[in-house]
Amino acid sequence: MEYDKRNQGSFPPWSRIPSLQEMTDEAGVDHDRFIELIKEQKTIEEIARIMAISPKTVQSLHHHFMHYGIGSVMGGD
């Protein structure tokens, strides 16, 4: 059996990692504004001050964005 056919569909077409939208919603952060501040190259401290959240929360959201992007949807089909 060929590799492609044997492994087709062996991974779910979704991710167990929440999207950045879900994470910003949970943190009470405007998702689009958060992305805009990253685009503007604001520091963690600047984003925290502007959005009135802790630098630790910003750092976590920023880390997620840099490693997984916006949707973080991965799959194997």
pLDDT in the model for residue 9? 55
Residue 5 has what pLDDT? 56
Check residue 77 and give its pLDDT: 45
The model's pTM is 0.71
Task: Output DSSP code: residue 54.
Answer: -
How far is it, in rounded angstroms, from Cα 48 to Cα 53? 5
Question: Minimal CA–CA distance to 28: which of 56, 3, 53, 60?
Answer: 53
| Cα 17-7-69 angle, rounded to 5 deg | 25
- The residue ranking higher by pLDDT, 77 or 48, is 48
Model confidence over 30-73: pLDDT tens digits?
999 999 999 999 999 999 999 999 999 999 999 999 988 876 55
Q: Residue ranges per domain, the chain?
A: 17-68
